[in-house]
Chain A
């Protein structure tokens, strides 16, 4: 599964590192943004509409202060359009701002071409109002549609993102499931010898002695290999441990397949008990044909044991989406 940390598309947007929280936060961000855009558009629509278009983009392209100044712009164009009835918002603004000499903000050029033809009154006025109405309705429809589309897109983002990551296979999630046919039919690539080194760690509060029984092993891709770790419980009480693993380099991790191991399940050790823990793995033969892996000669497999607390359910990787 493409983890949001690894898929750069999402990581560039989302600040959180938890996969599901980050997708949900992303949805919230998109919803809030779309609501803001919707409200902004509606405000724009209901404010002094014919004049807002100029006002909104007057001040160096910054729309918000210009939106607040739209009543002043109504006043500025009063002289040009003395005969036409102004929208009520503009009239109110005119009363308040009649004495403000902010003429440096006024547009000198008229907005609509037909404003200059002052002689034509009765014929063009009703059609212009109708035009305005239809235009307003169209814009309102577009704005509402855009808002709805944004909200829908935010909900569609989750499965789309998953599909995208599966298709592109970013972050080492290339192959969807290794079936046993692959293991049965794979041919070892004998020319490419890879050294696999083993590392064992325990969490600070974990009292087991955990170490690998061999420091390194030379394998070839396509051949199954066995390796052993040893764990000892030196204390007087049984301890349940659970482990996870890590493969370095990360890109090679997608080719490192474990057939069976001791990770992700609780392992109980009785007092003073020592056990051998095998890892049965193979490296995918396609490792040899990947150009990014051309210089990789050493792969390090590192296991870390933690103590499992009673009643503590850990999510298993690979099963979380179901």
Chain B
């Protein structure tokens, strides 16, 4: 695509990822979390909003096994899923 000589139209410019590349999970340490996540996706007809807890769990697993740099989950967009104060626990159960 980037070598097409079509001067009238735009072409795509790939950008590197913000936090770099995931190291490969050669030993399948987080495979169970991935399976849970995929199962959740299939059940919710591939709606990402319903499976965010599972994706958060997968990323936490990766961080534990040194497959991802440790970062607070808010920086990964899981601000609404981080542990709430006790009085808000009832509202979060409904997500």
- Chain B residues near A226 (CB, 8 Å)? 37, 48, 55, 58-59
- For A223, list chain B residues within 8 Å (CB): 48-49, 52, 77
Residues of B within 8 Å of A, CB-based: how many? 44
Residue B25 is within 8 A (CB to CB) of chain A in the complex: yes
A contact residues around B24 at 8 Å (CB):
262, 267-269, 275, 277
Residue with the greatest number of chain A CB neighbours at <10 A, chosen from B7, B11, B59, B77 = B77
Most chain A beta-carbon neighbours within 10 Å: one of B11, B13, B28? B13
Partner of A253, one of B13, B22, B59, B79: B13
Tell whether, in the assembled complex, residue A247 and residue B18 are in contact, meaning their CB atoms are under 8 Å apart: no
Closest B residue to A1 by CB, please name it. B13
Does the CB pair A224–B21 fall under 8 Å?
no
The answer to whether A263 touches B5, judged by C-beta atoms less than 8 angstroms apart, is no
Q: CA A206 – CA B90 in complex, angstroms?
A: 52
Which of these, A220, A250, A278, A318, contacts B49 with CB under 8 Å? Answer: A220
Interface string of A264-276 (1 = CB under 8 A from B): 1101111001011
Beyond A217-B41, A226-B55, is A275–B21 a contact (Cβ under 8 Å)?
Answer: no
Q: Is the CB of B11 within 8 A of A3?
A: yes
Is A275's CB under 8 angstroms from B26's CB? yes
A172 touches B13 (CB 8 A): yes
Interface of chain B residues 17 through 37 with chain A (CB within 8 A): 17-22, 24-26, 28, 31, 34, 37
Contact string against A for B residues 33-57, beta-carbon threshold 8 Å, 1 for contact and 0 otherwise: 0100110010001111100100100
Chain B CB within 8 A of A225 CB: yes
- A322 adjacent to chain B (CB < 8 Å): no
User: Nearest-CB distance from A265 to chain B (Å)?
Assistant: 4
Contact check, A278 vs B21: say whether CB atoms are below 8 A apart: no
Q: Which residues of B contact A1 (CB under 8 A)?
A: 13
**Does B34 contact A276, Cβ atoms closer than 8 Å?**
yes
A318 to B14, CA, bound (A): 8
Determine the main DSSP class of A at the interface with B: mixed
Q: How distant is the Cα of A246 from the Cα of B3 in the complex, in angstroms?
A: 13
Q: How far is the CA of A278 from the CA of B68 in the complex (A)?
A: 11
Known: A213-B38, A217-B48, A228-B34. Is A172-B10 also a contact (CB below 8 A)? yes
Q: Is B19's CB under 8 angstroms from A259's CB?
A: yes
- Asked if B2 CB lies within 8 Å of chain A CBs, one says yes
Most A Cβ at <10 Å: residue of B3, B12, B17, B25? B12
Chain A, interface residues (CB within 8 Å), range:
35 or more
B17 touches A246 (CB 8 A): no
The residues of A that contact B47 with a CB separation of less than 8 Å are 217-218
Contact across chains for B21 and A265 when beta carbons are under 8 A apart: yes
Interface stretch, picked from A28-36, A58-66, A176-184, is: A176-184
If the complex has contacts A184-B74, A267-B24, are A318 and B16 also in contact, measured as CB distance less than 8 A? yes
CA distance A277 to B78 in the complex (A): 21
- Given the known inter-chain contacts A224-B78, A273-B26, please indicate yes or no for A6 contacting B21, CB distance below 8 A: no
Q: Is B75 an interface residue (CB 8 A)?
A: yes
Question: Which of A173, A217, A264 touches B21 (beta carbons < 8 Å)?
Answer: A264
Residue of A nearest to B44 (CB): A218
Q: CA A222 – CA B45 in complex, angstroms?
A: 20
Considering the complex, give the chain B residue whose CB is closest to the CB of A253: B12
Contact (Cβ within 8 A) B22 A17: no
**16 A-B interface contacts by CB (under 8 A):** A170-B10, A171-B11, A172-B12, A224-B55, A226-B48, A226-B55, A226-B58, A253-B13, A258-B15, A270-B26, A275-B28, A278-B22, A278-B34, A280-B59, A317-B13, A318-B16
User: Which 7 A-B residue pairings sit nearest by Cβ, starting from the closest?
Assistant: A224-B77, A226-B55, A265-B21, A258-B17, A11-B7, A225-B48, A260-B19
Which chain B residues have a beta carbon within 8 Å of chain A's beta carbons? Answer: 1-5, 7, 10-22, 24-26, 28, 31, 34, 37-38, 41, 45-49, 52, 55, 58-59, 68, 74-79
